[in-house]
């Protein structure tokens, strides 16, 4: 048996095209473009690459891109004051402060200062609470992208046994909440889980987000399972995921590669969340079928 390779790059491209179509409709009706503000503090090379790619994607979708680049020695008060201005700016629908931040700044203080209705990253505790309690809010972009890929493979996930390996606030916990909302039976596993391989082996859906290269082996995978690999680990052999792809692909029903699986979905879902934020702010009805 050979797994279907889930082409996240192609799916993300399609999503970005659909978002651009809805952005054009929004702009024609409302008279302004949705706007995304991205704040970069310091000159971390990886962060700078992410910010450039977000800017390109925002412009390509027909949205306004507002970039704010601050020096590495920026104080927390100065950054919070900028967040306050962006919260009050009606042309800004989404605010994203690129992490990590320099050591003199408390990340939690910054994240919680962002208006939850502009928190398109979905990191604000209010949005975490909305997700946990089934209310409309913003979901972190990576787990949202994972769910889209899963539902593209199997529209109805109800009743399936899902194991999420990893318990971060950015991926693991929101991923589990999303799967629970789809009526899956959900287990969150992690580094302290006893007999992790046995826990994973019973799953119809495996989402690996643990940050350890190729930790999950093919003999951990239930035949026919859907495997979503969130891991991006740099090794001497190049980028690899948290799943041992070659052995898992011989057992799974479908699997995401690394790179080219979940990665492209993150920015596509950021565009999606920014459009949704603009539509909510203006009372504009999006074509849900298009998204």
98 is catalytic: yes
Residues of the chain by 3-state class (helix, strand, coil), percent to 5: 45, 15, 40
121 is catalytic: yes
156 is catalytic: no
The side-by-side arrangement of strands in the sheet containing 226-229 is 4-5, 254-255, 226-229, 205-208, 161-165, 185-189
Residues 226, 247: contact at Cβ < 8 Å? no
Pick the catalytic residue: 121, 229, 242, 244? 121
63 burial type by CB count under 10 A (0-12 exposed, 13-18 middle, 19+ buried): buried
Sequence-distant (≥ 6) Cβ neighbours of residue 163 within 8 angstroms: 186, 187, 189, 199, 200, 202, 203, 205, 206, 207
Pick the catalytic residue: 54, 118, 173, 222? 54
Pick the catalytic residue: 33, 93, 98, 222? 98
Catalytic residue numbers? Answer: 54, 98, 121
């Amino acid at each position: 048996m050979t797994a279907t390779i889930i082409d996240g790059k192609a799916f993300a491209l399609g999503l970005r095209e659909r978002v651009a179509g809805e952005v054009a409709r929004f702009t024609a009706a409302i008279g302004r473009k949705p706007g995304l503000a991205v704040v970069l503090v310091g000159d971390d090379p990886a962060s700078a690459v992410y910010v450039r790619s977000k800017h390109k994607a925002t412009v390509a979708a027909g949205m306004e891109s507002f970039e704010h680049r601050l020096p590495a020695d920026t104080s927390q008060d100065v950054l919070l004051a900028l967040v306050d201005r962006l919260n009050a700016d009606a042309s800004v629908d989404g605010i994203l402060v690129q992490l990590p931040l320099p050591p003199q700044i408390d990340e939690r203080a910054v994240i919680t200062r962002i208006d939850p209705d502009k928190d398109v990253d979905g990191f604000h505790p209010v949005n975490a609470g909305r997700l946990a309690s089934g209310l409309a809010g913003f979901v972190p972009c990576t787990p949202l992208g994972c769910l889209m890929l899963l539902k593209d493979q199997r529209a109805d996930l109800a009743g399936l046994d899902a194991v999420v390996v990893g318990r971060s606030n950015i991926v693991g916990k929101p991923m589990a909440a999303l799967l629970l909302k789809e009526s899956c039976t959900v287990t969150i596993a992690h580094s302290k889980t006893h007999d992790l391989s046995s826990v994973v082996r019973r799953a119809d859906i495996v989402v690996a987000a643990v940050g350890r290269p190729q930790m999950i082996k093919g003999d951990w995978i239930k035949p026919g399972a859907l495997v979503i690999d969130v891991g991006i680990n740099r090794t001497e052999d190049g980028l690899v995921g948290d799943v041992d792809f070659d052995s898992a692909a011989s057992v799974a029903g479908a699997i995401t590669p690394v790179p080219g699986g979940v990665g492209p979905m993150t920015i596509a879902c950021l565009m999606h969340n920014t459009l949704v934020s603009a539509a909510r702010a203006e009372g504009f009805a999006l074509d849900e079928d298009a998204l």
